[in-house]
Amino acid sequence: MVNEQGFDLAVVGATGAVGQQMLKTLADKEFPIRSLKLLSSSRSAGKEIEFKGETLTVEEASPEQFEGVQIALFSAGGSISKKLAPEAVKRGAVVIDNTSAYRLDNQVPLVVPEVNEDALYNHQGIIANPNCSTIQMVVALEPIKKAYGLKKVIVSTYQAVSGAGLDAVDEMYEQSQQILNEEEINPQLLPVSGDKKHYQIAFNAVPQIDVFQENGYTFEEMKMINETKKILDDQALQVAATCVRLPVETGHSESVYVETEKGGATVKDLQGVLEAGAGITLQDHPETQTYPLATTSVGLPDVFVGRVRQDLDTENGYHLWVVSDNLLKGAAYNSVQIAESLVKLGLIKQ
C-alpha cells in the first residue's frame, strides 16, 4: 500500500498472533503509513492479509526488503530478529523488536512508553519490546515506584496460551473438545513447542513457560526478573517470578506482591496512585465483586489493576491483581506505542 503522507513501515511476522494485532493496532490508532510491507518466513509467504480495505500479499523477509523502510516491527521469533534486524538497521530502518533477542543488550533500549520513553533517545537502530508478562507488571509498578519507591516484587503469573502463538490456541481448544467428548488427547506443542515433553493444557495449570535455565527458573521467569530491573532502571530491585500457563485464550493475569521503600501508604492511597497511573484502569470494588478478569481485558489496551490489599504483616507490603491483553499492551500495542513515541520525540521524521 502507498499513501502520500506518513512513514514507510514493514511488519515482520505479519501472519502470527502478535503480527495480526500489530496490523489491527496500526489501523485502529490510524498510525500514519506511507507504505506498508508485510514480511514473514518462507512458510507464510504468499498469504494474503487485508489491511484498511486493501489486500496485501505477505512476502518472504530478506535483507533487501528493508530498503526504504523507516520503521520495521519484528515479531517472527528470535532467530529471524537476530538475522534480519541488523540488516534493516544497516538500510536505515529503526527496528522495534518484539522477541527476546536484544532485550538485555546494553546498546538496546527496552521500552514501555508509560515507564521509560526517554530511553528511546539512546537508541542505535534497534529498540526492544519487553516480554508480555513484564510489560503489564511494570505499567502497574511504575506509579507505585514514583510515589513510594520499590524494594521487592514477587509475582505468580496466570498466562494465556495465545502468548505461545495461534497453534497453541488451536491445541487448547481442540484438546478441550476432546476431553469434553471423553476422547484421547495427544499434546504436541504446549507448554513449549521445542521442548522434549508436552502436557495437557486444557483444564490444567502448567508451571512452565519457555525452557528451563541452569538455576531452575524458566526463561520466561528470568525474562520477567531481568527485564523488570532494566525497564525500571534499578538493578538493586528484588524481583522473583513463577510463570504458569493456563487454559485461557488471551489475557495474562498476575498476582503481584510489592514491598515499597516508604511505608505508610493505605490501600486508598495506593488505589489513587494506580488510578492516576498512565495506561492503568483500576477495577477494584470488592463490595460489588469488581476486579480485573482475563476475559474482560481482551481487545483493550489498558492494564487493569484490582484486588489491592495491604499485607497483614508487612507494613510496606501490598498485593495486587494485574490483568492485560497479552497480544495488545503485552506486545502489538506496546510496539506501535513505541513507534508513536519515536515520532513524537522527533527521533523519526517523515
Residues near 248 by beta carbon (within 8 Å), at least 6 away in sequence: 158, 159, 160, 161, 294, 295
- Residue 79 C-beta: closest distance to a second copy, Å: 22
**Paired strand residues for 94:** 71
Could you give the angle at the alpha carbon of 334 between the alpha carbons of 332 and 335, nearest 5°?
A: 65
Contacts (CB under 8 A) with a second copy, residues 111-150:
none
235 lines the binding site for a second copy (CB under 8 A) = no
288 lines the binding site for a second copy (CB under 8 A) = yes
Among 255, 269, 272, 340, binds a second copy (CB under 8 A): 255
**Paired strand residues for 262:** none
Nearer to a second copy, 2 or 205 (CB): 205
In the block, cell 495474562 appears at 252
Could you give the angle at the alpha carbon of 180 between the alpha carbons of 178 and 183, nearest 5°?
A: 40
Among 244, 269, 272, 348, binds a second copy (CB under 8 A): 244
Part of the chain binding a second copy (CB under 8 A), chosen from 29-37, 74-82, 94-102, 195-203:
195-203
200 lines the binding site for a second copy (CB under 8 A) = yes
- Residue 314 C-beta: closest distance to a second copy, Å: 7
Binding mask 149-188 for a second copy (x = CB under 8 A): ---x-x-x-x--------------x--xx--x--------
* 22, amino acid identity: M
Give the interface size with a second copy as a residue count (CB under 8 A): 59
Instruction: Find, among 63, 64, 107, 100, the residue nearest to 79 by Cα.
Output: 100
Length of the chain: 350
- Whether 243 is a known active-site residue: answer no
Indicate the annotated binding residues for phosphate: 103
Nearer to a second copy, 194 or 264 (CB): 194
The bridge status of strand 317-324 relative to strand 54-57 is unpaired
Catalytic residue among 132, 198, 243, 285: 132
314 lines the binding site for a second copy (CB under 8 A) = yes
225 lines the binding site for a second copy (CB under 8 A) = yes
- Whether 123 is a known active-site residue: answer no
d(CA 284, CA 297): 14
Among 60, 122, 263, 267, binds a second copy (CB under 8 A): 267
Indicate the annotated binding residues for NADP(+): 15-18, 43-44, 162-163, 326
Part of the chain binding a second copy (CB under 8 A), chosen from 37-45, 86-94, 189-197, 332-340:
189-197
d(CA 309, CA 318): 6
- Indicate the SS3 state at residue 13: coil
Q: Report residue 223 as a C-alpha cell.
A: 525474562
Among 24, 47, 91, 319, binds a second copy (CB under 8 A): 319
Identify the DSSP state of 189: S
* 25, amino acid identity: T
d(CA 206, CA 219): 15
16 lines the binding site for a second copy (CB under 8 A) = no
Element (H, E) at 323: strand 317-324
What DSSP line would sit under 39-52, residue for residue?
EE-TTTTT-EEEET
Positions that interact with a second copy (CB under 8 A): 152, 154, 156, 158, 173, 176-177, 180, 191, 195-197, 199-200, 203-208, 212, 215-217, 225, 238-240, 242, 244, 246-249, 253, 255, 257, 267, 286-289, 291-295, 306-314, 317, 319, 321
Q: List active site positions.
A: 132, 252
